[in-house]
């Protein structure tokens, strides 16, 4: 339908980028990006009006986001149309703005486009050999200065190579090594590096990307002096398993859980606090996220020995009751097996124990409402957790009060 609107307005519209790449590779991708040869802002407003979608526009960047009632989001960008087109130019010239737009991209596999105007619906456009490179399973840059122009592409190259199990093209690999040697990361804003790092940590298997980052000397460049030994790698693997456990057991909590933070805890685990602060300062993490991370690290350090010496369910419960999901996931990864079991039991069962008695029951006993109420209810919860009280007998819980 969007293509139809484009056609009526006499514009060309194309699906581009990751969506098309993943369509060809056969991987799910719900980030739909459209490039319009023309003004995406005016176009998006028109689409929104005709198709009943909401639209957010960004005049300065000439981009827009459409949000459809069923929740589908589509990002639109403008391919700059040339101002002075030679009179009588051939229709082919019409693809020039799209080509220019695609030319600025990182890797050939990201330069595929699919036209969505009804007249040529589904026509695949491949200016830079993206299709060939997908077939050959290669990550290739479009030009020799790609990593110099944007060194965060070094991280992207290794992320995509890992995700799709592609190799770097020979020339691309050479350019990447040169870019690392020239310490080009120093020229990039910390938060752009952090953004890409986060994308890596949100991949299915960040460890495999990190092994590559290490091999190409990127890790040492980003985190000078960081310990990257067997133990750390094992911890990454354990975090991966804990993350899977969490996603399977808590699908409702998943969308609000910052899984990348759990990996950051693993990355910085056992590093001196000063050094961690330096790393975070260099990445210019948002203040809130930096404080959160440092706080989680501290809590994990303090909790671990206490969990290791705990011997009752209620002790595990009291230690972990207020722990955010990220901390539970990390602790279940970093603890010895028996403790890890207990952390997971707290997460899946113990924390959800609800006493069958309430404040009203305590009032009926003649006590004045106050902090003692919640303390008493907590005691009941702990007694249920320890198996001293049956979870389903209100009688016995009342008697316990």
Query: Is there binding between residue 140 and ligand CTP (CB under 6 A)?
Result: no
- CA–CA separation, 122 and 364 (whole Å): 72
Task: Note whether 151 binds ligand CTP by CB under 6 A.
Answer: no
Among 31, 136, 189, 395, binds ligand CTP (CB under 6 A): 31
Give the CB-nearest residue to ligand CTP.
Answer: 18
Rg (CA), the chain: 27
| 39 part of the interface to ligand CTP, by CB under 6 A | no
Q: Which long-range contacts (CB under 8 A, 24 or more apart) does 172-178 make?
A: 172/107, 172/138, 172/139, 172/140, 172/141, 175/141, 175/144, 175/146, 175/147, 176/147, 176/216, 177/216, 177/217, 178/147
State the minimum distance, in angstroms, from the CB of residue 134 to ligand CTP: 13
In the bound complex, what is the minimum distance in angstroms from residue 20's beta carbon to ligand CTP?
9
| Least distance to ligand CTP, CB of residue 223, Å | 20
**Which tokens is 386 given?**
């320890």
Q: State in angstroms the smallest separation of the CB of 328 from ligand CTP.
A: 27
* Nearest-approach distance from CB 106 to ligand CTP, in angstroms: 3
Q: Confirm or reject binding of residue 190 to ligand CTP (CB under 6 A).
A: no
Residue 260 touching ligand CTP (CB under 6 A): no
Does position 130 bind ligand CTP by CB under 6 A? no
- Contact with ligand CTP (CB under 6 A) among 12, 57, 95, 110: 110
**Cα–Cα distances in Å, from 326 out to 246, 306, 323, 366?**
10, 18, 8, 41
Question: 6 vs 200, which CB is nearer to ligand CTP?
Answer: 200
Tokens, residue 233: 């790698």
Give phi and psi for 143, each to the nearest 5. -155, 165
If the CB atoms of residues 204 and 321 are measured against ligand CTP, the closer one turns out to be 204
Distance CA 250, CA 256 (A): 11
First to last CA, the chain: 65
Binds ligand CTP by CB under 6 A, chosen from 46, 150, 237, 292: 150
Containing 375, the helix (H) or strand (E) segment is helix 371-385
**Rounded to the nearest whole angstrom, what is the least distance from the CB of residue 109 to ligand CTP in the complex?**
8
- The smaller minimum CB distance to ligand CTP, of residues 150 and 386, is found at 150
CA angle 229, 259, 308 (to 5 degrees): 60
Please identify which residue in 37, 39, 101, 106 interacts with ligand CTP, judged by CB under 6 A: 106
Q: What CA–CA distance (Å, rounded) separates 179 from 185?
A: 8
| DSSP structure class, residue 6 | H
Cα gap 329→253, rounded to integer Å: 12
Least gap, CB of 206 to ligand CTP (angstroms): 13
* Candidates 105-113, 280-288, 302-310, 323-331; binding stretch for ligand CTP (CB under 6 A): 105-113
| By CB under 6 A, residue 37 contacts ligand CTP | no
Does position 101 interact with ligand CTP (CB under 6 A)? The reply is no
Which range touches ligand CTP (CB under 6 A), out of 103-111, 246-254, 299-307, 373-381?
103-111
Rounded Cα gap, residues 296 and 258, in angstroms? 12
Q: Please name which of 344, 203, 335 lies closest in space to residue 266, comparing C-alpha atoms.
A: 335
Closer of 21 and 344 to ligand CTP (Cβ): 21
**Rounded least distance, CB 140 to ligand CTP, Å:** 12
Q: 313 and 350 in contact (C-beta within 8 Å)?
A: yes
Tokens linked to 145: 């200065």
Dist. CA 329–CA 276, nearest whole Å? 20
Shortest Cβ 22–ligand CTP spacing (Å):
7
Contact flags string 75-94 toward ligand CTP, x per CB under 6 A: --------------------
Give CA–CA dist 40/60, Å, rounded.
12
CB of 29 to ligand CTP, least distance (A): 6
Q: Is the CB of 18 or the CB of 190 nearer to ligand CTP?
A: 18
Q: Which of these segments, 121-129, 152-160, 235-243, 249-257, binds ligand CTP (CB under 6 A)?
A: 152-160
CA 163 to chain centroid, in Å, comes to: 14
Contact residues for ligand CTP, defined by CB under 6 A: 17-18, 31, 105-106, 110, 150, 152-153, 156, 199
């Amino acid at each position: 339908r969007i293509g139809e609107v484009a056609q009526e307005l006499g514009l060309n519209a194309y699906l581009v980028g990751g969506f098309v790449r993943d369509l060809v590779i056969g991987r799910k991708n719900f980030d739909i990006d459209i490039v319009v040869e023309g003004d995406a802002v005016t176009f998006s407003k028109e689409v929104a009006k005709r198709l009943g979608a909401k639209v957010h526009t960004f005049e300065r960047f000439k981009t827009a986001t459409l949000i459809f009632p069923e929740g589908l989001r589509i990002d639109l960008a403008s391919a700059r149309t040339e101002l002075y087109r030679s009179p009588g130019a051939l229709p082919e010239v019409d693809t020039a703005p799209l080509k220019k737009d695609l030319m600025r991209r990182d890797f050939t596999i990201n330069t595929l486009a699919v036209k969505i105007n009804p007249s040529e619906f589904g026509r695949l456009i491949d200016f830079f050999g993206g299709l060939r490179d997908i077939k050959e399973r290669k990550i290739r840059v479009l030009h020799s200065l790609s990593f110099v122009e944007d060194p965060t592409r070094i991280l992207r190259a290794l992320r995509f190579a890992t995700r799709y199990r592609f190799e770097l093209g020979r020339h691309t690999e050479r350019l990447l090594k040169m870019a690392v040697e020239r310490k080009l990361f120093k020229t990039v804003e910390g938060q752009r590096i952090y953004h890409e790092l986060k994308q890596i940590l949100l991949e299915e298997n960040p460890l495999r990307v990190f092994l590559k980052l290490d091999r190409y000397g990127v890790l040492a460049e980003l985190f000078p002096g960081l310990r990257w030994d067997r133990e750390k790698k094992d911890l990454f693997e354990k975090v991966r398993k804990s993350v899977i456990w969490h996603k399977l057991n808590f699908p409702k909590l998943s969308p609000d859980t910052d899984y990348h933070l759990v990996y950051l805890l693993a990355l910085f685990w056992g590093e001196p606090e000063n050094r961690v602060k330096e790393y975070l300062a260099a990445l210019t993490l948002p203040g809130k996220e930096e404080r959160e991370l440092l706080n989680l690290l501290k809590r994990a350090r303090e909790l671990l020995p206490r969990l290791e010496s705990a011997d009752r369910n209620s002790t595990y419960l009291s230690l972990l009751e207020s722990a955010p999901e990220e901390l539970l996931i990390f602790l279940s990864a970093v603890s010895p097996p028996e403790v890890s079991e207990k952390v997971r039991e707290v997460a899946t069962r113990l924390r959800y124990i609800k006493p069958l008695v309430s404040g009203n029951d305590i009032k009926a006993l003649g006590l004045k409402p106050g902090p003692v109420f919640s303390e008493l209810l907590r005691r009941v919860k702990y007694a249920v957790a320890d198996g001293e009280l049956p979870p389903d007998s209100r009688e016995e819980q009342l008697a316990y009060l």
